[in-house]
Structure 1
Amino acid sequence: MSWSGRADPATLQVGADAIREALKTIPLSSGVYRMLGAKGEVLYVGKALSLKKRVSSYLRLNQLPERLRRMVGLTHSMEIVTTRTEAEALLLEANYIKKMKPRFNILLRDDKSYPWIMLTDGHEFPQITKQRGRPVKDATYWGPFASAWAVNQTLNLIQRSFLLRSCSDSVLSSRTRPCLLFQIRRCSAPCVERVTRGEYAALVDETKQFLSGKSTDLQQALVEEMEKASEAMEFERAATIRDRIRGFSSMQDSGIINPASIGDADIVALWQQAGKTCLQVFFIRNSRNNGNRAFFPEHADDDEAADILTAFLLQFYDDKPPPPQILLNCDPAELELVSEALSLKRGRKVELLQPQRGERRDVVRHAETNAREALERRLAESAGVSKLLDGVASVFDLDGLPQRIETYDNSHIMGQHAYGVMVVAGPEGFTKRAYRKFGIKGPVTPGDDFGMMREVMERRFGKRDPQAPDERPQDWPDLLLIDGGLGQFNAVRAVLEELNVRGIAIVAIAKGPDRDAGREWFFQEGKAPFQLPPNDPVLYYLQRLRDEAHRFAITTHRAGRSKAIKTSELDSVPGIGAVRKRALLNRFGSVRGVRGASIEELTSVTGINSEIARVIYSFFHPQ
C-alpha cells in the first residue's frame, strides 16, 4: 500500500486544529483513538498507554513522516475509547482495524473462516464432521486447519481408523440399510445397529484420545486388542483391528512436518522483499501439521518488519483463540505487551518464542523458506501482470495502468435461476474477495440478456454517497469488460449514462466465428470493432478474465439451481419433514402426484395418519 503525494499546508492546519480541539477532552488513561475524515470514515486506529500524550505527538508536524502528515491533513475529528490496561487497548485496536479497515493502518486482508473438526456430544451416536463459523452448542472442536483440504484429509483418515459416522442426524434416523462408507470400512453403521452404543462410545473415546495427542498409548492398546482377538481365534475381528491400525499409522506418517517436540503451537515466519511482506503460518496441533497459509498484509513501504508482525499477530488472532506457543523467526514490536494481550485473549499464558536450536528452529526455518518462496512467486506474478496491464492500457487507450478491471457475465437456462456475476482483477491478479453475485430479481423476460445486464449495472453503480453524489467511489473500476457483443456494449453504456457514471472505459469481448478462442472481436466507444493478433499475450490475458467470469457465472448458476431443486412445495406443508417428504415422493413420484392424491391415498403412505393427510390435502386444495 502506498500513499503518494505531499500534504497540503492548508489542509494540514485544518487537521491540526481538529486534533487540538479533541485534546481538550482526551484523558491521560490508556485506550484507543480513531482519526476520522470529512465524511466520518476511519483514517487510522491507534492505541496508547496515555492517550493524551500519544495524540499530542501528531501536532509535532515537522517530526512526522510524510505519510502521517497526509493523515493529519485529512483528519476532521477524533473518537476515543478508554481501557483499563494497554494490553486491552492493543486487543481493541486490532479488532477495530480488522472491522473498519482504515487506509493508514497495516491491514491483514483475511476474510476467510478456518475449518475445524467437530464431534457432536449431545447424541448417543456422535457425528464427526468439519465446521466453519460460529461454534455449535454441545460439540467438541479440534483445530484450526489451514484449509478445507487439510481438514478433509484428516477426517478421511479418522474415519478409516475410528469408523465414526459423518452423516447428519436426519440421514442417520432415516436409513434402513448401511451406506457405502460401511462397505468400504469407513463407518461402523450405527444407523442400522451394526455397532452397539457401548462399542460406539469406545470408538468416540479413542478418537478423542488421538485428537488430544495420546496417540502412542492408543496405538499400543489397539495392537494388544488385535493380539487377544487373534489368540481367541476371532480372526475377522482381528482383521478389522489390523485395518484400523494401518489407517492409524498412515495418519501419523502424513503431513509435511509433524514435529514431536512441538505440541500445540503456530509457526509464524515473516519475509520482506521489494517493499512487500509475506507471513507464512503453520498450524501445529498435538505434534501434527494442520496445514499452512501465506498472508500478504497491506502496509506502507517504510513500515518496519517488527511493526508489521505485531499488527499481523493481533489481527490474526482477533477472531480465533491463540495457541499456548507462537514460534517466530523475528521479534514483534512491543514483544511483552503483545504476549500479555494474547494471553488475555486466550485466558491463559501465551509465549512468543524465537527458537535458536533443535527441531523447533528447523520448523521455523522451514516456514521462513515457504514465506520467501511465496513472496517471490507473488512478485514474479505481479511483474508479469504489470506488463499485461500496460498492454491493456495501450490497446484500449486508457490514461494509465488499470488498477481495477471488472468483468461481467450472465448465466441462466431459459431465464430460470438467472445470475449475473462480477469478477475483479488488478496488479495483484484476481481479487476473489471482491467478486460479487447478482441474483436477477427482474422483472426480466426469460432469455433477455440485455435486461439482465442492465439490472446488474444498476445494482453495481446505482448507489452513491448522498453527501458526495459527484465523488467517484474508491472501489469503482478503471475498465469494464463485458462478455458479449455490440448489443451488450450498448446496453451497458446506456445504463451508465443514465446513472451519470463517468471515467470508466467500457469494452465488450465477443467470441469470433464458430466461437473460436483467439478470434474474439472487441467493441469500444469511438472505435470500429477490432481483433488482436492470435498470439498476443494481451489477448490471452483478456481471455483469462472472460473465462474466469464465465466459470464463476456457471458455478453460481449451478449452485442456485441445485438449491432450488432440493426444495419443493412440500417443504411449506405444516408437519412435513424430511422423512415424510421422502415417503410421499417415493409413493407418488412428484409434488404433482401428491397434489392429485385423495385423502385415502395419502393415508396409505407410511408415516401419514388421517390428520396429517387432511393437512396435506387442505394445503393443496384450500377451497
Structure 2
Amino acid sequence: MLIDEIRSLPNNPGIYQYFDKFGKLLYVGKAKILKNRVKSYFSFTPTLAPSPKVGPRIHKMISETTHLEYIITPSEADALILENSFIKQLKPKYNILLRDDKTYPYIYVNLDDEFPRFDITRKIVKGKNIKYFGPYFRGGRELLEALQMSFKLVQSKAALKAKGSYLPYQIGYSEAPLISKISTNEYAKVVNAAISALQNPNSLIANLTNLMTKYAQNENYEQAAKIRDKINAIKDLDTKIEVDLAKLEDFEVFAINSCQNMICAVRFSIQNGKISGVNQNITNLKMNLDNDTNDAYKQIILESFPIDMPVISSKIYTLDKFEDSGLVEEILTARHSKKFSISTPKIGEKKRICDMAGKNAEISIQNYLKTHDNELLKEIKEYFSLTHTPYTVETFDNSHMFGKACVSAMIRFEHGNFIKDKYRHVNLQSKNDYDQMREMLIERALRFDKISAPDLWIIDGGQALLDLANEILKSSGANVDVIAISKEKIDSKAHRAKGAAKDKIYTNLGSFLLATNDKKLQFFQRLRDEAHRFAITFHQKTKKREDMEASRLIQAGVSQGSIAKLVKFYGNFENILNANFDEITKITNKSVAEKIELIKK
C-alpha cells in the first residue's frame, strides 16, 4: 500500500517517482531527505490524502498517486542531475519539460598554432590557448564562411602543407594565403582583425555586399545568391537589442516567463559587453503549475552547459531567484572544473538586461500564440482522451521490397513544424512488419536521453502495432501517448488518396472512423505521409547501395544463392565484407570465402 511505501522511505538524498493505478509515471522529484520530502505532500489523518498545504496541481497529482518508487543518491546534487535526466527521458505527466536537445556550435581558433585557422566545434578542443566565440543559436556556419571570404585566413590543414599549388589561393577564393608567402607577424594581424570582426559580425556585411555585386555583374548569379544568404544570416544574428556595456564583460542571462498556458525561457549570451546571441525555448503548461519557475530554471541552465561543451563565461544572472541555484552552481562547477556563480541582480545594468530577457520571453509567447493554431491539438487531446496535448509528435513507418533493403523511419513534428534535423532512420534485420516496428521503437526508446520523449507516437499500422508500442513505452517508463493509423484497403492495396482515404484510427479507448474532411484525421495523415516519404527515400537509397554491393559479389563469382545465405545471416553487405574468412566458409564454402577476400583487397 502507498502509506506503507511512504513510511518505509529512507533518510537519504535521492529521487522519488509517483505512479497512478495504470502504472503511468506522474511525477519525478528530488529530495535532500526522501522521507521528509515525500511526507510533506500528504496528510495522514484520518486517512491518507493530499496535504491541505499543497497547491492545486500537487493536490490533483497526489489524488491520482497509488504507488511510489525511489532511488537513493550520494548527494542532493546527484539527485538533481538524475531528476533532470528522468524528466527529459520519461516525460512525467506533472513535470514541466523545456525541451532543448540541440548542441549549438562555436567558432574557435587555436592561438598557439603558428598559422591559426578558424573552425566550427560543438565540443571542447584540446589546447591551452583556444579562443571560442558563440554559442551560435543560428548562422554559425554562415558566419565562419563570411569570415573566410573577408580575410586572408588559412582555411584547412591542406593549406598549411601547400607550398605553391593550394587551389583556393590559385582561384582567388577569399585570397587564402600560401604559408610561404606571409610571415607569422603579418598573419597574426589578420587573425586579430578576424577576431574583431567576430565580435562585431555586422562589420562583415559591407565587404560581402561588394562581393555579391561583383558576382552579379559577372552574371555569376549562383555565387551572388550564396553570398546574399550569408548576409541575411549575419543580419539575423543581430538581436535588435541595444545593449552595450561600458565594461567588456562576458556573462549569461536567463529569464523565465509564463502566461496563457505557455512557458518560455530566454537566454542572452553577452560577450565583450554586447549580446552575441539570443535563444528561446517555449512549451505548453498542462495546467497552472506552482513551482514552475524553480523547475524551469534548473532544467534550462543545466541543459545549456552540458558536459564537454566550451564555457566562455561561468557567470550567470537570472531574472528570478530559484530554490536550487546553489545546487546548480555546484553541479556546473564540478562538471566544467570552473567556478560558476548564479545570482539575481536587484538594481543596475544587469537587472535591466534580465528584465529585457523576461520581456522577450513574454513577447515570444504572444507571437507564438498568434502564429500557431493550437485549438486543433487541444481538440485531438480531448477527443481521443490523450494524456498530453500533442505539441511534439513522432511518426514511424517501415519500408522494404519483398524483404530486401528493410528500413524504418521516424519523423518529428514540433509546434507546427517538421524538425528535419531530428528525423531518424535505421536499417532493419527483421523481415516482417511487426518485428520491424518492434526493432525501430525499441531503438527509439533507448535514445530518449539523446532526444527527449515526445507527447505522442503515431504508428503506421493497426491494433497489433498500437499494443506493441504501448508495451515498449511501458517497459521504458516513458509517459507518451500512442495512436495507430491503418490505411484503407482497396483491392488488398493501401489507399493513400489525399482527402478520400478512410483511414482507421486506433487508440487505447478503441478505434475511430472519421470523415475524410475531418481535420483531426488529416493531421494524422499529413504526419503519416511525411514519415512514409522519408522511409521510401531512405529505402530507395539503401536498395541502390545493396544492389551495387550484390553486383560486386556477383562479378566476383559469388552465386545468388550464396549471397542470399550471407545476407540472411549478416543482415547487410557491410557486415558480410567485415566478416572473417572462417565464418564465411562455414556459412557457404571455402570458394565463396576466397572470392570475398579478393573483393576486400
Q: Which residue is equivalent to 1:308?
A: 295
| Paired letter, 1:263 | E
Question: Can you give the 5+ residue segments of structure 1 that lack an aligned partner in the other structure?
Answer: 1-10, 27-31, 84-88, 220-246, 445-450, 466-473, 483-488, 571-617
- Structure showing greater radius of gyration is 1
Change (3 A) 1:417 1:95: same
**Is 1:109 aligned to residue 81 of structure 2?**
no
Matches within 5 A, 1:26-425: 26=12, 32-36=13-17, 44-48=28-32, 54=37, 57=40, 61=44, 62-63=51-52, 65=54, 66=59, 69=62, 73-76=66-69, 78-83=70-75, 89=76, 91-101=77-87, 103=92, 105-120=95-110, 124-133=114-123, 135-136=125-126, 140-147=130-137, 149-167=138-156, 169=157, 173=161, 177-180=165-168, 183=171, 185-190=173-178, 193-207=180-194, 255-256=238-239, 257=241, 259-261=243-245, 263-296=249-282, 301-312=288-299, 314-319=301-306, 321=311, 323-333=313-323, 347-348=338-339, 350-354=341-345, 356=347, 363-379=353-369, 381=372, 383-386=374-377, 389=380, 407-410=395-398, 419-424=407-412
When residues 416 and 158 of structure 1 are mapped into structure 2, their CA distance, relative to the original with a 3 A threshold, is farther
TM-score normalised over the length of structure 1: 0.59
Say if 1:277 and 1:499 are closer, same or farther in 2 by CA, change over 3 A: closer
Q: Which amino acid aligns with 2:3?
A: Q
Q: 1:271 to 1:537 in 2, by over 3 A?
A: same
Q: Which amino acid aligns with 2:253?
A: I
User: Is the CA contact (8 Å cut-off) linking 1:188 and 1:194 kept in structure 2?
Assistant: no
Residue aligned with 2:73, SS: strand
How far residue 407 of structure 1 moved from its aligned partner, in angstroms, is 3.3
- Mapped partners of 1:54, 1:529: distance in 2: 47
Measure how far apart 1:301 and its partner are.
3.0
Given that 2:381 and 2:389 are in contact with CA atoms closer than 8 Å, whether structure 1 keeps it comes out as no
Matched, 1:532 2:516: yes
1: distance between equivalents of 2:261 and 2:505? 38
Residues 74, 214 of structure 1: alpha-carbon distance in 2 compared, 3 angstrom cutoff: same
Aligned to 2:219: none
d(CA) in 1 for partners of 2:516, 2:186 = 68
Indicate which of 422, 426, 434 corresponds to 1:438. Answer: 426
* Residues 15-40 of structure 1, C-alpha deviations (whole Å, 9 max, x = no match): 32232xx24xx4xxxxx322257899
Residue-by-residue CA offset, 1:338-374 (whole Å, 9 max, x unaligned):
667766766336352436455x555444433331232
Q: Which amino acid aligns with 2:102?
A: K
Contact 1:12 1:69 in 2 (8 A): no
Cα offsets for 1:284-316 (capped at 9, x unmatched): 222343332222367763223542354235523
Q: 1:413 to 1:460 in 2, by over 3 A?
A: closer
Q: Find the residue that maps to 2:439 and give its secondary structure.
A: helix
**CA deviation profile, 1:31-61 (whole Å, cap 9, x unmatched):** x32225789989534243x677556645655
Alpha carbons of 1:170 and 1:409: their partners in 2 closer, same or farther (altered >3 Å)?
farther
Q: Is the 8 A contact 2:389 2:455 kept in 1?
A: no
Q: CA deviation at 1:155?
A: 1.5
- CA distance change for structure 1 residues 79 and 362 in 2, over 3 Å: closer, same or farther? closer
User: Separation in 1 of the partners of 2:545 and 2:124?
Assistant: 22
Shift of 1:95: 1.9
Contact 1:327 1:355 in 2 (8 A): no
C-alpha distance after superposition, 1:77-134 (max 9, x if no partner): x443344xxxxx4x43432223222636544432221211122467544332111245
CA shift digits 1:456-475 (9 cap, x unpaired): 3231467999xxxxxxxx98
- Amino acid across the alignment from 2:339: R
d(CA) in 2 for partners of 1:456, 1:318: 37
- The equivalent of 2:222 in structure 1 is none
Cα RMSD after superposing both structures: 5.6
Task: Answer whether contact 2:263 2:365 (CA < 8 A) is retained.
Answer: yes
The CA deviation at 1:279 is 0.8
Name the SS for the 1:186 alignment partner: helix
Name the structure 2 match of 1:456.
436
Whether the 8 Å contact between 1:45 and 1:96 is mirrored in structure 2 is no
In the TM superposition, residue 529 of structure 1 has moved relative to its aligned partner by 10
- Compute the TM-score of the two structures, normalised by the length of structure 2: 0.61
Contact 2:255 2:357 in 1 (8 A): yes
For the 8 Å contact 1:278–1:375, the answer to whether it is kept is yes
Deviations 1:204-234 (A, max 9, x none): 45545666x699xx99xxxxxxxxxxxxxxx
Separation in structure 2 between the aligned mates of residue 499 and residue 370 of structure 1, nearest angstrom: 39
Alpha-carbon offset, residue 421 of structure 1: 0.9
Of the three residues 475, 483, 487, the one matched with 1:508 is 487
> Percent of pairs identical after alignment?
19
Distance 2:73 2:489 in 1: 55
Q: Distance in 1 between matches of 2:200 and 2:278?
A: 23
CA pair 409-56 structure 1, distance change in 2 beyond 3 A: closer
Task: Determine the C-alpha separation between the residues in 2 that align with 1:144 and 1:314.
Answer: 16
Give me the whole-angstrom Cα distance separating, in 1, the residues matched to 2:471 and 2:330.
50
Provide closer, same or farther for how the CA distance between residues 53 and 410 of structure 1 changes in structure 2, counting only shifts above 3 A: closer
Amino acid of the structure 1 residue aligned with 2:15: R
Counterpart of 1:13? 3
User: Could you tell me which residue of structure 1 aligns to residue 226 of structure 2?
Assistant: none
Describe the superposition over 1:500-526 as per-residue Cα deviations: whole angstroms up to 9, x where unpaired: 979954322799x9x997444234389
For residues 154 and 422 of structure 1, what CA distance do their matches in structure 2 show?
31
The aligned residue for residue 501 of structure 2 is 521
The DSSP-based 3-state class of the residue aligned with 1:296 is strand
Gaps of 5+ in 2: 45-50, 205-229, 446-452, 473-481, 553-595
Q: In the aligned structure 1, how far is the partner of 2:120 from the partner of 2:196?
A: 18
Deviation at 1:263, TM superposition (A): 2.5
CA gap of 1:14–1:463, structure 2 versus 1, over 3 A, is farther
Shift of 1:273: 0.9
